Structure formats: structure tokens, C-alpha cells
């Protein structure tokens, strides 16, 4: 990957890492399925200003919309509403990286290199270090729902790759048209009209701000850039960046909220980014780094 695209991928991980905090804030005001429906309804609004033909076959847009919007985010938000902590949710959801690589091998014929697999294992070990310090929550069902959301995200990555779209902003806006109606229907049936009306008529400013961030920054910008990278590069090269999402959340909490980061937390961040570097950087760059460091080591 080129350096500008690596930086774009890291920007997406930063947006998504901070986004889990906004999701948790929004769920204090909105029932999870209604919150998810409103998110995608707002994310589709740029279509009022975007002109041009549909960016992909309609059935493919529906497929991505159902996988990404209805299934992935629907069950993720419900799992978090049931008590799955934001930090642990951001961590567990990144199991989609390994699901995506497996599905890409099965359906796209992509085979990650041995070096990439080593980098993934190293990054995963960093996530384990982070996970050891995260509260588990009280519900195994909520935990399994986040795992299921990760699997749905992996399938949506493959569908996005197969869509063949070139205008990724328009693609994510079209995709955002699909989830609102099914999610509103599910919210009506499962959460009830009274809860829907209460949430819509008495939102707090923090809930509105969280909704706007989740809709436009995390969805329109985040998934627009993610889809652009998936279109340009193999899924097995792009998706490992998602392993940095929990790290971004930790660092954002440390920088913006003054949250403490332990020594093992700092070590975990370094391990994750080292694993990502091995996975995505060209072999020539890594060889130069190690050869340069070896020249700095004094001879015995």
C-alpha cells in the first residue's frame, strides 16, 4: 500500500475507535435498533446532492445494506445495549479481520503471505493484552452477538469488494438507504412504539451529537474511505488495519479524556502496530529498517 493510503486506513481506525464511545453515549438516549435506523437514515442524506447512476447493481447494494446495516450494526447495538462494554466491543468486533481473510481465501482466491500471517498473529497477541484489562460484562449472549456482528461485517467486506463500484461515497450513501425501514420495523416490534416516541421527542444534546457523529463521521466518511481501500487493494491487506481500532480508542481516551494507560497497555499498542507494519509495509521497507537498526548495534 502507498503511504497516503496507509495514513487513510489509520485515519479510519481512529474515527472508528473513538466512535464506540459515541455509540455508548447514544444508546443512553435511543433504543439500539432505533438508533441504528436513524444512523443510516442520516447517512443516506448526501444522496440529495449526489447525482449520477447507481454505483453498483441494486441487488448488491441491498446485500451490503442488509449485512452491514441491519445485521452487523443491529446486533452490535443490541449487544452493547445488553451490557457489552464499549472497549471490549471494539476489541471483539475486530475478529472480523480473521473472518474476512478466511472468506477472501474461500470466495476471492486471495492468499495472505506467510509474512502477513506472522504480522496478524503478532497484532492479535497485542489485542489479547488489551483484552485482559477490559471488563467482560455480564452477558454471554451479548458477547456472542458482537461475534456474530463481526462475521456479518466480514461478509459485507466481501460483498463490497465484489460490488466493483468506483465511487465509494455514493456507494455507502446508497447502501445507507437499505437499513432504515427494516430496522424501524424491528424497533417497533421489539422495542415498542412508546420507547420510540419517547426517544424521538426527548433526546439530549449529547444523544443528538452522538447520533450525528455515528451517522456522518463514522458511516459516511469512515465506511466511504474503507470501501475505497477495499476497492483498490486485496481485502486481506486492508482489513488488518481494523485491528488498530481498539488501540485508537485507548489512545483517544488517554489524549482526550485523561484516561490512564498502563504499561501493558502501551506495550499492547506497540505490538499491534508492529504486527500491522509487518503485514502491510513492503518487504523492502522492513528490510531497510532492520538492516539500519543492525548497523546501529555495536559489534561485540
pTM equals 0.78
Q: Contact at 8 Å (CB) between 147 and 95? A: yes
Residue given cell 412504539 in the structure block: 193
Rounded Cα distance, 111 and 159, in Å: 18
* CB neighbour list of residue 1: distance below 8 Å, 6 or more residues apart: 9, 233, 237, 280
- Is 119 domain-assigned? no
pLDDT band (50, 70, 90) for residue 275? confident
Q: Is the pLDDT at 136 greater than 70, yes or no?
A: no
- Is 275 domain-assigned? no
Mean pLDDT, to the nearest integer, of 179-201? 93
Which residue range is the domain that position 155 belongs to? 3-114+137-242
Rg over alpha carbons for the chain, rounded to the nearest Å, is 20
- Is 148 domain-assigned? yes
249 vs 49, which has greater pLDDT?
Answer: 49
- Is 255 domain-assigned? no
- Is 88 domain-assigned? yes
Segment 109-132, tens digit of pLDDT: 888 778 778 887 887 787 777 667
- Is 284 domain-assigned? no
- Is 122 domain-assigned? no
4-13, 133-142, 261-270: which has the minimum mean pLDDT? 133-142
- Is 165 domain-assigned? yes
State how many domains the chain has: 1
Segment 194-207, tens digit of pLDDT: 999 999 999 999 99
Q: Is the pLDDT at 175 greater than 80, yes or no?
A: yes
Amino acid at each position: 500500500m502507498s503511504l497516503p493510503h496507509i495514513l487513510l486506513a489509520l485515519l479510519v481506525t481512529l474515527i472508528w475507535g473513538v466512535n464506540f464511545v459515541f455509540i455508548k453515549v447514544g444508546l443512553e438516549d435511543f433504543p439500539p435498533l432505533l438508533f441504528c435506523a436513524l444512523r443510516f437514515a442520516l447517512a443516506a442524506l448526501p444522496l440529495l446532492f449526489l447525482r449520477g447512476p447507481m454505483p453498483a447493481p441494486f441487488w448488491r447494494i441491498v446485500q451490503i445494506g442488509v449485512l452491514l446495516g441491519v445485521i452487523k450494526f443491529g446486533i452490535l447495538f443490541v449487544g452493547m445495549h445488553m451490557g457489552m462494554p464499549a472497549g471490549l466491543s471494539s476489541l471483539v468486533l475486530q475478529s472480523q479481520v480473521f473472518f474476512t481473510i478466511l472468506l477472501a481465501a474461500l470466495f476471492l482466491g486471495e492468499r495472505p503471505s506467510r509474512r502477513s500471517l506472522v504480522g496478524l498473529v503478532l497484532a492479535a497477541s497485542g489485542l489479547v493484552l488489551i483484552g485482559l484489562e477490559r471488563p467482560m460484562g455480564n452477558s454471554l449472549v451479548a458477547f456472542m452477538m458482537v461475534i456474530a456482528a463481526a462475521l456479518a461485517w466480514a461478509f459485507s467486506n466481501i460483498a463490497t469488494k465484489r460490488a466493483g463500484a468506483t465511487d465509494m461515497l455514493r456507494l455507502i450513501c446508497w447502501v445507507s438507504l437499505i437499513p432504515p425501514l427494516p430496522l424501524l420495523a424491528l424497533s417497533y416490534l421489539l422495542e415498542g412504539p412508546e420507547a420510540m416516541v419517547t426517544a424521538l421527542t426527548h433526546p439530549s444534546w449529547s444523544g443528538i451529537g452522538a447520533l450525528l457523529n455515528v451517522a456522518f463521521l463514522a458511516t459516511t466518511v469512515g465506511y466511504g474511505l474503507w470501501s475505497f481501500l477495499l476497492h483498490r487493494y486485496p481485502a486481506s491487506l486492508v482489513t488488518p488495519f481494523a485491528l488498530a481500532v481498539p488501540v485508537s480508542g485507548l489512545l483517544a481516551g488517554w489524549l482526550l479524556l485523561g484516561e490512564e494507560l498502563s504499561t501493558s497497555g502501551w506495550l499492547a499498542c506497540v505490538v499491534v502496530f508492529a504486527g500491522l507494519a509487518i503485514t502491510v509495509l513492503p518487504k523492502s521497507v522492513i528490510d531497510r529498517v532492520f538492516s539500519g537498526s543492525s548497523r546501529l548495534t555495536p559489534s561485540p
